[in-house]
Amino acid sequence: MYRFFCYTICFSLSLIQSLFPATTTVIPPTTPPEINVKNISGNPKWHGFSKLIDAGKGDHFSGMSELKRYFHRFGYLEADDNFTDVFDDTLETAVLTYQKNSGYPSPEISIPTRGEPRWRKAEKSETLTLTYAFSDSHMINYLSYSDIRGAFQRSFTRWASTIPVSFSEVDDYRKADIKIAFYQGDHGDGVAFDGVLGVLAHAFSPENGRLHLDMAETWAVDLKSSRSSVAVDLESVATHEIGHILGLAHSSVKEAVMYPSLGPRTVKVDLKMDDVTGVQKLYGSNPNFRYSPSMESDISSGRRCGTGKRVMWVTSLVLLVSFLFW
């Protein structure tokens, strides 16, 4: 039985992927501390988690069903029309899987290998070119369009330098392979945004291509010019989400772009060898790719896998409630 030995609501900007049926140079050099809070006004759904202190398998707690729905939303639990308030085997597995993916110490659990989603070249084509476009009607107005485009162009260029895939911006949003837009609340894709300090962004796996960012957040392309304590670096999020668009899972290598945690006011855009190895496994190597010692990290590989069959998954950038277990 695994019990909550500590229930501190530690909030950090964290990248969570719905892969378990839906994973650097940091500027500034010191990582901002996690924000530890007891209450979150304006986001009351988080208060329900405080009922789960000292819960263990077999226990019955009011509010456990909400935790199950939370894990289901991000792909850790299969769909169920009758989530109960019992801490059962399925919830324990979800907790341990989440814990492992987030880098917390936990007993070893078996995670089967999944079929890896990726974009396919057209027949008789020697190269793969993916088009992307920005929505005309769903953008933010406090950042210039050129700044937003520039952040994404740089992010696409980083990935293109490692694999034989090119990215081309087009005007036709409807026909683009990758569709980039800012939305609020329920916007029709089944993964609603929940306002400030909730879900920040989400992207769908190949070959879906939707990349949505929460309009309610404070986005920045230059953190030095933003005074917000919870400003989110657009280029860092774009680089991570494009990794998911290409089919990558989260990584347990903390320096990697695909690591599922990003602190507020943090820039994390440089690909590490774990990111490169993962994406080259899917698409092969760009013949012009050159290894750089700066790509190395303390752990050689941390690429994780999910469940067995190929399914569409969605990954989200969220303000995450971090649970500590034994």
Residues noted as catalytic: 241
Paired tokens of 138: 């769903």
244 is in an annotated binding site: yes
The CA distances from residue 53 to 5, 59, 94, 107, in Å, are: 8, 11, 17, 20
274 is in an annotated binding site: no
Give ∠ CA 253-256-261 in degrees, rounded to 5.
80
177 is in an annotated binding site: yes
Paired tokens of 150: 């520039």
The CA distances from residue 156 to 160, 240, 246, in Å, are: 6, 10, 11
Paired tokens of 254: 């903390």
273 is in an annotated binding site: no
172 is in an annotated binding site: no
250 is in an annotated binding site: yes
66 is in an annotated binding site: no
Rg (CA), the chain: 19
81 is in an annotated binding site: no
Cis peptide before 206 (omega within 30 of 0): no
Count of Cβ atoms closer than 10 Å to residue 294 Cβ? 12
Kind and range of the H or E run holding 9: strand 4-17
CB of 33 closer than 8 Å to CB of 281: no
60 is in an annotated binding site: no
DSSP 216-262: TS-EES-GGG---TT-EEHHHHHHHHHHHHTT---BS-TTSTTSSB-
Binding site per annotation, positions for Zn(2+): 187, 189, 202, 212, 240, 244, 250, 258
Binding site per annotation, positions: 177, 187, 189, 194-195, 202, 212, 214, 217, 240, 244, 250, 258
